[in-house]
Amino acid sequence: MAVVDMPGSKSLTARALFLAACASGDSRLRRPLLSDDTEAFTEALASLGHTVRTEGEDWIVTGSAAARPVQEAEVYCRDAGTVARFLPVLAAARKGTYRFDASEQMRRRPMGPLFEALRELGADVVCEGAEGHLPATINARGLKGGRIVLDAGVSSQFLTALLMAGPLFPDGLEVEVSELVSVPYVEMTLAVMREFGAQVRREGKVFHVAPGHYTAREYDIEPDASTSSYFFAAAAVTGNTVVVNGLGSRSLQGDVRFARVLGDMGADVEFTDEDIRVTGTGNLHGLEVNMRDISDTMPTLAAVAPFADAPVRIVDVYNTRVKECDRLAASADNLTHLGIDTRTGQDWIEVRPGTPDPAVIACHADHRIAMSFTVTSLRLPEPLLLDDPACARKTFPDFYETLADLVTRWNQGPVAAKSSFGI
Ligand SMILES: O=C(O)C1=C[C@@H](OP(=O)(O)O)[C@@H](O)[C@H](O)C1
Ligand SMILES: C=C(OP(=O)(O)O)C(=O)O
């Protein structure tokens, strides 16, 4: 048995930063995630006139009353979908000229439905290159709010962004979604908004946000459930036990359900209010699973699927093609390269049982591909090599050290990971 200390949730850190920046006073965030994405978020907030300072392990966020009004800003989003999708709405609610740009990777990812929604609400959004992509300049005159229809079928982040800004609009906001993916992230948004004092409700496809204000507060960030998936999968395929404290049945993160998928495959999985415990039984079963709601964990499952006793088929995960890379293609290409019989369609992947051959993993600068195939490596006599291990910094700079420490502790116990691993 081994307890691992997981870093804070990326999604909760981003939401808490946004809402704290909109609240009137100073907020204290406890155990925020320290990673490339959240550093990008704090820097972007700084460009918009907010201060986030460190106090011990906490972050103190200056709210809107103390923020320096900035009427012109260049905001660089790096690789972060949360920054690129959330902060343009905050900027559009103000008065000024705000230019948003991002890494090549983030420039390729879709922004169109969000820009359309901002235009419908009254902002002028000008894309410099391809329509619906960064870089883009927002000429903002403040937004009154009102009713819009939004296609959130490629990313729920568009909806989250609009909802979080909703209380700042004098008329509030009503959003009808024509399509919606990654629903648990939206439920998380509603929960955190309420914790910061917003009035928001959902009636089927329509979300209603009342005009109002956010209240500064102290906010505890849960450990990251998507990051935990690598440690749960590692326990499952090596026949060891791992416990993640602070993440349990009451978690706001949908990705905790990944542990239940491992349970459906034969791992011994226990949820309490306080923690999640996964024990590998040495034999994982194949299955078909719909991961539309928890698609950040699709690469984790695909990477350990060769060790199941029957095919693993993951369906309804189209939007993983527009993440840091095309994750269906990247997972399938790497598995094929390892000699594993793998097929994909537009929104699914099927992986047959097999023993991976040695190979170099093409990470495509995607932290989840790097971390997922590191878990595959735990079952092999020789470690797989990653072409870009450093990309894990997007959400977990200490990933390799934390996993190595866990494996060392396992190796001292009765059952051991079958190999060490290297990068
Ligand atoms: O709102 C969020 O914090 C996130 C929503 C999801 O994105 P999509 O809604 O684009 O699937 C998820 O993949 C991403 O890692 C974080
Ligand atoms: C898709 C991801 O990130 P984001 O959309 O926040 O850049 C992720 O972390 O897997």
Given a cut of 70, whether residue 135 has pLDDT beyond it is yes
Given a cut of 90, is residue 250 above it in pLDDT? yes
Is residue 158 very low, low, confident or very high in pLDDT (cuts 50, 70, 90)?
A: very high
Q: What is the pLDDT of residue 1?
A: 65
**Distance from C-alpha of 96 to C-alpha of 48, rounded to nearest angstrom:** 10
Checking ipTM against 0.90, whether it exceeds it is yes
Structure tokens at 288: 């078909």
Same domain, 231 and 163: no
252 and 388 in a single domain? The answer is: yes
**270 CA distance to ligand 1 centroid (A)?**
26
HSE, side-chain direction, 13 A CA sphere, residue 131: 3
Query: Looking at the structure, do residues 199 and 334 belong to the same domain, yes or no?
Result: no
Residue 142 has pLDDT above 80, yes or no: yes
CATH number of the domain at 101, please. Answer: 3.65.10.10
Res 420 pLDDT > 90: no
Write out the catalytic residue numbers: 296
Give the domain range for residue 243.
225-411
Establish whether residue 227 lines the binding site of ligand 1, counting it when its CB lies within 6 angstroms of any ligand atom.
Answer: no
- Given a cut of 50, whether residue 307 has pLDDT beyond it is yes
User: Is the CB of residue 238 below 6 angstroms from any atom belonging to ligand 1?
Assistant: no
Tally the domains of the chain. 2
Q: Is the same domain home to 138 and 260?
A: no
For residues 67 and 183, membership in a common domain is answered with yes
Q: Does ligand 1 lie within 6 Å of residue 185's CB atom?
A: yes
Burial class (CB in 10 A: 0-12, 13-18, 19+), 219: buried
pLDDT, mean over the chain: 96
Final residue belonging to a domain, choices 187, 210, 233 = 210
Average pLDDT of 387-408?
97
Same-domain status, 275 and 204: no
Asked if residue 156 has its Cβ within 6 Å of ligand 2, the reply is: no
How many Å lie between the centroid of ligand 2 and the Cα of residue 324?
7
Residue 114 counted as domain residue: yes
Band the pLDDT of 423: cuts 50, 70, 90: very low
Nearest CA among 258, 278, 282, 257 for reference residue 269: 278
pLDDT score recorded for residue 397: 98
**Statement to judge: residues 250 and 191 lie in one domain:** no
Do 153 and 48 fall within a single domain? yes
- Average pLDDT, integer, range 322-341: 98
| Mutation pick for ligand 1 pocket among 18, 155, 258 (CB with most ligand atoms within 8 Å) | 155
Is it the case that residue 188 has pLDDT exceeding 60?
yes
Give the tokens for residue 262: 């491992």
Residues 302, 203, single domain; the answer is: no
SS3 string of 44-99? HHHHCCCCEEEECCEEEECCCCCCCCCCEEEEECCCCHHHHHHHHHHHHCCEEEEE
Residue 218 lies in a domain: no
- Cβ-count burial of 413 within 10 angstroms (0-12 exposed, 13-18 middle, 19+ buried)? exposed
421: Cβ contacts below 8 Å, ≥ 6 apart:
374, 377, 378, 383, 384, 403, 404, 407
Distance of CA 332 to the CA centre of its chain: 21
- Per the CB < 8 A criterion, the answer to whether 363 and 222 are in contact is no
Q: CB atoms < 10 A from the CB of 18, how many?
A: 29
The answer on 235 and 196 residing in a single domain is no
Q: Is the peptide bond before 135 cis (omega within 30 degrees of 0)?
A: yes
- What is the model's pLDDT at position 68? 81
User: Which of 210, 240, 266 is a domain's end point?
Assistant: 210
Q: Rounded to the nearest whole angstrom, what is the distance from the C-alpha of residue 106 to the centroid of ligand 2?
A: 10
Q: Would you state the pLDDT for residue 67?
A: 78
289-304 tens-digit pLDDT: 999 999 999 999 999 9
Query: Which one, of 366, 182, 204, lies nearest residue 290 by Cα?
Result: 182
| pLDDT at residue 58 is higher than 60 | yes
| Number of neighbouring beta carbons within 10 Å of residue 309 | 11
pTM, full prediction: 0.97
The answer as to whether 216 is a domain residue is no
On the question of pLDDT at 219 being above 80, the answer is yes
Tokens of 219: 């906010």
pLDDT for 65 beyond 90: no
Confidence of residue 69 (pLDDT cuts 50, 70, 90): confident
pLDDT in tens, 30-54: 999 999 999 999 999 999 999 999 9
Instruction: Answer yes or no: is 215 within a domain.
Output: no
Write out the two tokens for 265.
Answer: 């495959």
Top-confidence residue, 419 or 374? 374
Task: Mark whether 396 and 339 lie in a shared domain.
Answer: yes
**The ligand 2 atom nearest the CA atom of 11:** 6
